Structure 1
Amino acid sequence: MSSSRADDAVATSSIPRHDTGSVTDDETVEVPVDERQPLTVEQIRDVVRLVQCPRCCLPLRQPVTLPCGKTICRLCLPEPYVRTNISYPATESRARGFHCPFPDCEKEHAVSDCSANVALNKVLPGVQAEYEKGRQAALISSLSTHVVAKDQWEAAGVPSLGAEERVSRPLPGGRLLATYLLAEMGELDYNAEVCYLSPDSTEHANLDAAILAQVKEVTRAEMDCQVCYALYYDAVTTPCGHTYCRVCLQRVLDHARYCPICRRPLSIQPLIYREACPENELIKRITTYFWADMLEDRRQAVLADAVTHQAGECDMPLFICTLAFPSMPTFLHIFEPRYRLMIRRALEGDRTFGMVLYDHPGFVELGTVLRIVNVEFFDDGRSLLETVGVSRFRILRHTSVDGYTVAKVEIINDISIAEEEALEAAEILAGAEDSSDRPPTTSTPRFPTTRQEIETTPTQVLMDCATDFVRRMQQQSVGWLTARILAIYGQCPNDPAIFPWWFANILPVREMEKYRLLETTSVRQRLKICCSWILEWEASRW
């Protein structure tokens, strides 16, 4: 056996950096791995911790990434239960959930939002295979290291009740391999630190270096985003288990609400705010440890792209006329020369433009992107357009080009399905607490009769209230529900996400009242507005 290096002392130990009793690793001080230097004791412990489940402490098996960005074994998921106080979307796949086991989250996660992480499920078997190859090589060459596991208090020099029960054993290989094998045996707590009672010889270090190089190689193969084909930066894992850079997924969702790989519908918020869609913590730690320089290059590239985008020109042509809504048709008669030019350019491009409501002396801040579906030209240059609403936007700044207005806009998107469910559950629970001293009425939810009741009514009941109103108005043959109107906008939708837009087109309400819908970010908010209109309508008839 070769002589030990002078800078390797016996019983060297890693430094604790985790809170006692917590399974979260948010406070880990990450030290990137440099292949040109031997691993420190702290780095060895952190590299092994990368593949450990924070709950069972074993190497991750069938890893699942939770909506909060943390990753655990599938078998470590808490026992699910039937969720309550949620009526929308209330699909079968979202009926069961569990409370997050991580103390810094503890939110309710739907089981359907917790699929196996595809990238990590490809990486980990290869990583485990490399450690096994190293173990076989160590057994052949009779290399071993005496490793000791310490709890955080003991490692910090504080007296600990667990000191007498600490694990201490010789294991094959150098320090890295021996530490991994201790975790594989289930004897290394996720938050525990280690020390070594054996010197680290050149042979031990060379074996560890070879294992680490192979681990990095098999891991790197799965650390590229399948949209930009570069190293993950600010990685977000979707409910279907696929992982993308945040900016890449944002661009994908601008075009379609489906996963680019498996085509499963995505329920996440299109802008992917960090509060709603946190970064995948494990992938962040892996890329930071192994490829810190590449990650910094990616960060600089993303920031430069964001600056360029924010400083971009006003590129959304605006038709200043009336209100339009997503998913709804809008028919336009184009006769002004400036708008003839604007529409011709739109047809030559992506066939979209923005519609905003006129508001003396200018126009309102929020509008709707319209896509031209059909156009009919007349000999005198006029045209009739059939368009459909695509999305909503907020005007950031605007200018004039060839007589018509163009603007720089930001798209307004709804909150995610998970946030929609949490909003409903919180409001219903608040209503239940307020009415806890009232005598019970009936188990069947009734339609709201006051604005206060609207606030605490289940989302599906709000929808039922609105569609019941439409049905009663049809039976009464009101003037705003004629066959001609229904031929344009269609029959009453059953989808709560579409109904408010349809209802706003149908009901004779002031334009600025309808405008309130454009600034909402949830289906529930819009249905509450619709039900408030119904209360006003019915009150005005008496």
Structure 2
Amino acid sequence: MTLPCGASVCTACVKQPAPTDEQLALEADLAKTFESNTLPHALSFSIRSFRCPAKHCRRKHTGTPVADWVLGSLVRVLFPTETKVLDDAVVVPGSGLQLPLLVRSRRLLREARFEEAIRVADEAHVLNPWNRRGLIARRIAELRWREAGLDVMEIDDPGMDTGGSDGGVFVDPFKLKQGPPGVVVTVPPVPQGVSLGSTSSGSQELGIDCPLCLNPVVGPITLKCGHSACRVCLLDSCKTLTACGVCRAPLPTFESLLKYPENVVLGKVISEWMKGNEGWMKVKEEHAKEMEKYQAQTEYTIPLFVCTLAFPGTKQEFNIFEPRYRVMVKECLDEDGVFGLCIPKRSLNPFDEKYSVYGTAVSIEMSEAVMLDLQETSKGPLPRYYIQSKSRFRFKIVEEDVFISPEGLHYAKVKRIEDVDPDYEDVSYDSFEYAVNILKVRQNVHSMLTGLDPIRVQLLIQGYGKMPDDPALLSFWALQWVPMNIKTKYELLSCINPCERIRYIADRL
């Protein structure tokens, strides 16, 4: 499996703490608030955590450990003998971790393959001679060998002397990109019978194609659900999608994807195998250029629709009749762009005529032009528009009135803001408290809907959509109709900590 830090480790190496009775009861209560009576991926990724076993990291990651589907299948093709012994814990030779070797030694022992078990236990000891787990595994194997009534063969005992050994050296996956001196990364050859030439049949057979662009993965990013895709493809998909294209698990935020560590092992293997594929090399160059644009463009200039508050993941409907906003809709339709929704500052301060600093960028999903109502604008005669839009991301205005059109349409330079990610930023994050507040919100919403007339409930669902599974979107969904003044909603829109948002809404409900 591949962890959020980019390290690839065995499934058996990741030890998730056993949940307490209180946590199990809480998760059972949460599951009852869903139609399927099971916790969806979006929720389990937010309320569970585990300690990273990789030596260079050791951070606390959120979510549930899930197998890396692409890398796991590749390892089983390349190392059939090792993976046959380890049914669920995949051991990659030279990984630098002791635990998988100890697990493998125990399983060899169960199959009465004593000599191999002793040799694997010795390898585990050489990797980490400062503890005695490898020596203990050897002694247990020798004891079981004698109990079986067989003569123990003379196999060199490494003891505590490892000076002459060329045993395993831990390889920091973040340093593989620069190629540290003294470390040689050996990539196994392409499996026999598989061609990775100009056609894509070989990559499809190995399962190394990106599910979005259908090319062999470039700069692979492995999500918490275990599926891998190109980094640039995932960044592009953030414009229209909020979930994994394979299993519908929630995607990380745009900012998280920009700094999400690459799956170093998978990237190294694919890069080595695809060296001779000209088509893939061209795709790699295109992705490098796109990535430079994403990293350089941290600010955007967009037109502003000073009207109302909108929250990420929600939909809106507008009747556009003012000439300046007709121009705005025309530009967005022509360029497939977004416009900013924000409120006038007089909603917060009656004496201020400007617009708010924080807002939401929305894209047009559907539009209908009323050609009987035309008005002259700087873009020519434009009709009235009925549009349906969907909120994409929040922004903060960094420069006001960059440009003002002849009709009075304001353009501003904005910077995208996202929720903090506890995997990469040091934030106060209590997963149990988070789960308790999510349960409060969901139970209160269910009780409120139960007390309404079925027709009114249907109208609410049509207007605001179903209650989302993703906790981050749950808080924004609730903000649409929970009774709060506009100033409080505006403050919560600018809040980048989902735990604080859901706590405030739970307390208010």
Given the two structures, how large is their TM-score scaled by the length of structure 1?
A: 0.53
In the alignment, which residue of structure 1 is the partner of 2:463? 489
In the alignment, which residue of structure 2 is the partner of 1:163? 161
In the alignment, which residue of structure 1 is the partner of 2:116? none
What do the CA deviations read for 1:192-212 (whole angstroms, capped 9, x no partner)?
Answer: 9xxxxxxxxxxxxxxxxx997
Aligned partner of 1:527 among 479, 502, 505: 502
What do the CA deviations read for 1:153-185 (whole angstroms, capped 9, x no partner)?
Answer: 99xxxxx97337966xxxxxxxxxxx9xxxxxx
| SS in structure 2 at match of 1:66 | coil
| SS in structure 2 at match of 1:458 | helix
**Paired AA for residue 236 in structure 2:** R
In the alignment, which residue of structure 1 is the partner of 2:10? 73
**Paired AA for residue 371 in structure 1:** I
Confirm whether residue 245 of structure 1 aligns to residue 219 of structure 2.
no
1-structure distance, mates of 2:74, 2:461: 52
2-structure distance, mates of 1:332, 1:68: 43
Aligned partner of 2:54 among 98, 102, 111: 102
**Cα distance, 1:106 vs structure 2:** 3.8
In the alignment, which residue of structure 1 is the partner of 2:372? 379
Change (3 A) 1:313 1:244: same
* Fraction of identical pairs, as percent: 20
In the alignment, which residue of structure 1 is the partner of 2:220? 235
**Cα distance, 1:320 vs structure 2:** 1.7
**Cα distance, 1:463 vs structure 2:** 0.6
Confirm whether residue 399 of structure 1 aligns to residue 403 of structure 2.
yes
1-structure distance, mates of 2:62, 2:458: 43
* Higher alpha-carbon Rg: 1
Q: Would you say the 8 A contact 1:224–1:230 is kept in 2?
A: yes
In the alignment, which residue of structure 1 is the partner of 2:39? 91
Q: Would you say the 8 A contact 2:359–2:394 is kept in 1?
A: yes
1-structure distance, mates of 2:305, 2:189: 59
What do the CA deviations read for 1:3-62 (whole angstroms, capped 9, x no partner)?
Answer: xxxxxxxxxxxxxxxxxxxxxxxxxxxxxxxxxxxxxxxxxxxxxxxxxxxxxxxxxxxx
In the alignment, which residue of structure 2 is the partner of 1:505? 480
2-structure distance, mates of 1:345, 1:125: 51
2-structure distance, mates of 1:275, 1:165: 43
Q: Would you say the 8 A contact 1:329–1:386 is kept in 2?
A: no
In the alignment, which residue of structure 2 is the partner of 1:467? 445
2-structure distance, mates of 1:354, 1:315: 10
Q: What value does the CA root-mean-square deviation take over the aligned residues?
A: 5.4
| SS in structure 2 at match of 1:241 | coil
**Paired AA for residue 114 in structure 1:** V
**Paired AA for residue 234 in structure 2:** L
Query: After superposition, where does 1:143-542 map in structure 2 within 5 Å?
Result: 162-163=160-161, 188-189=167-168, 191=170, 227=212, 234-260=219-245, 263-271=246-254, 273=256, 277-284=260-267, 286=269, 304-308=289-293, 310=296, 316-348=302-334, 350=336, 353-359=339-345, 360-368=352-360, 369-375=362-368, 377=370, 379-381=372-374, 383=384, 385-394=386-395, 395=397, 397=399, 398-403=402-407, 404-407=409-412, 409-414=414-419, 425=430, 428=433, 458-464=436-442, 466-467=444-445, 470=448, 486=460, 489=463, 493=467, 498-521=473-496, 523-531=498-506, 533-534=508-509
Change (3 A) 1:426 1:393: closer
Change (3 A) 1:321 1:103: same
Q: Would you say the 8 A contact 1:80–1:111 is kept in 2?
A: no
Change (3 A) 1:457 1:392: same
Once the two structures are overlaid, the 10-residue window that deviates more, 523-532 or 222-231, is: 222-231
**Paired AA for residue 256 in structure 2:** Y
Q: Would you say the 8 A contact 1:320–1:363 is kept in 2?
A: yes
2-structure distance, mates of 1:311, 1:351: 15
Which segments of 5 or more consecutive residues in structure 2 lack a partner in the other structure? 32-37, 82-121, 130-157, 172-185, 197-202, 346-351, 375-382
**Cα distance, 1:266 vs structure 2:** 2.9
**Paired AA for residue 121 in structure 1:** S
| SS in structure 1 at match of 2:344 | strand
**Cα distance, 1:280 vs structure 2:** 1.6
Which segments of 5 or more consecutive residues in structure 1 lack a partner in the other structure? 1-63, 130-147, 155-159, 168-178, 180-187, 193-209, 429-455, 476-481, 535-542
**Cα distance, 1:413 vs structure 2:** 4.2
Given the two structures, how large is their TM-score scaled by the length of structure 2?
A: 0.55
**Cα distance, 1:269 vs structure 2:** 0.9
